[in-house]
């Protein structure tokens, strides 16, 4: 049996110390406050029933908001974010924007009281044709409810008028989001022409804008793309109609260099996103963009999956993220 020499023990000890130091430094980098950038969160539905897809419980939403408060995040409005993207305003440290898509009435019932009590602004992107209606078993916000919330820090923008669905694009089906695709016209046994597609999209986005401006008496310059799907023709149509800020579902941080027609958002409105996971996702997104922006580190795309495994031992929810 080979003897373990003092030199070998020394090498092992040094290696262990280096690993401990590297982990300590990584922890500090991960939880360092970010500046001059923001993260936009997106939710959809709030439901007391647990484990509903694309929904979280009222209690979990409260825990999300409390985690942001207790760890010194600053919740700002989409208006403030727009000012930053235009170069007209600065962002506070650890800036967060809260958005909801679709316009479910659960936003008024569960989210709004919690946001109001904490004096947190938020934005709801509405499917305007469904306002005050019940669609697919779910109720949507009424205009009086929206006006009440608007007076208390909640803003409302467009999530289309009635184009939040997928439709066949071939005789066999192949359904795709209707805002980004020409659809199959079974009555005419042909694909929509480019002109028909453009006119349909123009009519939808213009109608949604006009409905909101008429009911809420505010300029409408922001839109969130259904399913996060968009392309250059769609962006050009939105621009021609006066939209200046478009939100996706691609994760990432908003910086001064972010394309205002492709604003990233983190989807955190799922039942498996605990308060700890929320903070982790925010900080990791900020950390990852800084890390991978450096030359020679873009190959590390699998870093997330490896580093995520050690996050629970790194994160102490009782210690502020400083």
Domain boundaries, the chain: 17-164+198-314
What's the pLDDT at 1? 47
* Model pTM score: 0.84
d(CA 14, CA 139): 62
d(CA 172, CA 88): 50
Question: Token pair of 170, please?
Answer: 């071939």
- Count of positions (residues) in the chain: 322
What's the pLDDT at 305? 46
d(CA 118, CA 115): 5
Cβ contact 229:179 at 8 Å: yes
| Per-position pLDDT tens, the chain of length 322 | 455 565 565 555 555 544 544 444 445 556 788 999 999 999 999 999 987 888 999 999 999 999 999 999 999 999 999 999 999 999 999 999 999 999 999 999 999 999 999 999 999 999 999 999 999 999 999 999 999 999 999 999 999 999 999 999 999 999 999 999 999 999 999 999 999 999 999 999 999 999 999 999 999 999 999 999 999 999 999 999 999 999 999 999 999 999 999 999 999 999 999 999 999 999 999 988 776 655 444 444 454 444 444 444 444 443 333 3
Chain segment 271-309, per-residue pLDDT in tens: 999 999 999 999 999 988 776 655 444 444 454 444 444
d(CA 23, CA 28): 9
Q: Which helix (H) or strand (E) holds 78?
A: helix 78-85
What's the pLDDT at 10? 53
d(CA 224, CA 210): 16
What's the fold here for domain 17-164+198-314? TIM Barrel (3.20.20)
What's the pLDDT at 116? 98
Chain-centroid distance, C-alpha 124? 12
């Amino acid at each position: 049996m080979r003897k373990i020499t003092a030199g070998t023990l020394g090498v092992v000890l040094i290696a262990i110390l280096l690993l401990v130091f590297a982990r300590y430094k990584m922890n500090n980098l991960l939880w360092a406050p970010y500046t001059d950038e923001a993260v936009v969160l997106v939710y959809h539905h709030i439901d007391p029933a647990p484990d509903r897809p694309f929904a979280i419980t009222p209690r979990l939403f409260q825990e999300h908001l409390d985690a942001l408060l207790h760890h010194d995040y600053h919740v700002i409005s989409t208006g403030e974010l727009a000012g930053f993207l235009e170069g007209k305003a600065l962002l506070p440290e650890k800036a967060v924007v809260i958005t909801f898509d679709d316009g479910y009435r659960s936003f008024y019932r569960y989210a709004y009281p919690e946001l109001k009590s904490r004096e947190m602004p938020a934005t709801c992107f509405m499917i305007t044709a469904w306002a005050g209606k019940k669609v697919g078993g779910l109720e949507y916000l009424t205009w009086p409810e929206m006006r009440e919330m608007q007076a208390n820090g909640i803003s409302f923008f467009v999530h289309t008028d009635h184009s939040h669905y997928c439709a066949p694009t071939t005789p066999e089906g192949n359904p795709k989001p209707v805002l980004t695709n020409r659809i199959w016209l079974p009555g005419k046994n042909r694909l929509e022409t480019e002109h028909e597609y453009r006119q349909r999209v123009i009519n939808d986005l213009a109608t949604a804008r006009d409905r909101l401006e008429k009911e809420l008496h505010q300029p409408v310059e922001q839109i969130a793309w259904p399913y996060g799907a968009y392309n250059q023709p769609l962006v050009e149509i939105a621009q021609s109609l006066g939209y200046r800020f478009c939100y996706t579902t691609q994760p990432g941080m908003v910086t001064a260099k972010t394309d205002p027609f492709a604003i990233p958002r983190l989807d955190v409105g799922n039942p498996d996103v605990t308060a700890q996971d929320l903070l982790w996702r925010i900080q990791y997104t900020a950390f990852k963009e800084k890390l991978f922006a450096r030359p020679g580190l873009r190959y590390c795309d699998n870093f997330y999956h490896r580093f995520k495994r050690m996050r629970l031992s790194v994160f102490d929810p009782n210690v502020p993220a400083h």
